[in-house]
């Protein structure tokens, strides 16, 4: 019985000690996210199909959305706009942030075409 109490006490103490560490790790991850602001160059990854290339052209202003809420309750929130500058290979557009703050993984949408936002290298 005493061994059980000692083991349970040790488990509770280890959980209490570990809780601040996991909270700090989550905070560091949020600070480490790449945020692209007005004037930054980005790459828009797309499927490379003709319909995307016909839909999105250089000099177009495309709205960027962030998906939130998870799989059960997805929601799109407008977070900024980008101006398409040029084609950058078969599957990328080069663009510049013209408003808002955009993160890696946000989605640039124009009518039926969507592109994944990534930082320019």
At 58 the pLDDT is 93
Q: By three-state DSSP, how is residue 3 classified?
A: helix
pLDDT single digits (tens) 25-78:
554 445 557 788 899 999 999 888 888 888 999 999 999 999 888 778 888 899
Question: Of 26, 86, 19, 29, whose CA–CA distance to 59 is shortest?
Answer: 86
Comparison of pLDDT for 4 and 27, the residue scoring more:
4
Distance CA 78, CA 84 (A): 17
β-bridge partners, 110: 113
3-state helix, strand, coil in the chain (%, to 5): 30, 40, 30
Q: Which helix (H) or strand (E) holds 23?
A: helix 2-31
């Amino acid at each position: 019985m005493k061994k059980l109490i000692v083991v349970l006490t040790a488990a509770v103490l280890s959980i209490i000690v570990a809780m601040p560490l996991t909270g700090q790790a989550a905070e560091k991850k949020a600070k480490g996210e790449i945020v692209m602001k007005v004037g930054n160059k980005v790459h828009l990854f797309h499927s490379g199909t003709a319909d995307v290339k016909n839909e999105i052209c250089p000099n177009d202003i495309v709205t960027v959305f962030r998906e939130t809420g998870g799989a059960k309750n997805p929601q799109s929130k407008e977070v900024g706009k980008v101006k398409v500058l040029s084609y950058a290979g078969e599957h990328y557009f080069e663009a510049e942030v013209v408003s808002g703050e955009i993160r890696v993984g946000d989605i640039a949408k124009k009518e039926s075409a969507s592109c994944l936002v990534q930082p320019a290298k």
